[in-house]
Amino acid sequence: MAVPKPYTGLIPSNVNKDAKYSVSVGGDIRLIYYVSNRVRELLATNDHAALAEMVNAVKTAVNGVPGGSFYINEWGDVLVPGLDGQCYWAGHFDGTLEFRTEDGDIVSPAAPDDLAPGNPWVGPHVGIRYVLKAGGHDVKYERKISDRRTKVVLLSDEVGKTEAQKTAARIAAVKGTSGGRFYINEVGEMFGPTSSNEFAHFVYIGHLEDSKWFTAPGGYARA
């Protein structure tokens, strides 16, 4: 393949194994899923050969061997961390990953129709991390622009103060105005801990829907 393209947008850096997807050398997409607070299960699907191939192509190009972790952000960008500390764009994915547990239940990044904001989040923990600012009026993320420099990007800088406050208010209605981290997955579902429950399992915040959001980085071929 051509030399992989470093990603210029928000680069995920979750260290927990359940916060990322992985691909095997053989092409299975894998996920560590918490069935309950004390039970976790390794799930796998081989229904997405094209996705596995694009991830493994980048893994081989930058690491020398296939297999390993990857993410999919809210714009469908498939992001592959390299051993060199960089993150690379592997391509675009507009499907929905579904897994089946040992009990026969379907695990999907899409929220069930009856899941309401504030309910326990029942989907995978894979997502891109953002931060609700204290006060609940804006959203931010940090982007590394060099080995020694990091830039803070505010939603209000992109969509204006009024629209950013509207989006932030939806998140704060669940998380509380103290702010803190939350995540958004590849189908636009938001989830995270609440201000009174920072270290417990995640709760559902809601779907991004038509809320104003950050602009997808340019220069990448999306469907």
pLDDT digits (tens, 9 = 90+) for 85-96: 889 999 999 999
Closest by CA position to 26, among listed 55, 62, 61 = 55
Secondary structure class of 175 (helix, strand, coil) = helix
Round to whole Å and give the CA distance between 13 and 157: 23
Round to whole Å and give the CA distance between 190 and 192: 7
The average confidence (pLDDT) of the chain is 91
pLDDT digits (tens, 9 = 90+) for 131-189: 999 999 999 999 888 778 889 999 999 999 999 999 999 999 999 999 999 999 999 99
Distance of CA 130 to the CA centre of its chain: 9
Round to whole Å and give the CA distance between 166 and 42: 38
pLDDT score at 129 = 95
Q: 1: which residues sit within 8 A by CB, 6+ positions away?
A: 57, 58, 61
Tokens coding 8 = 């210029």
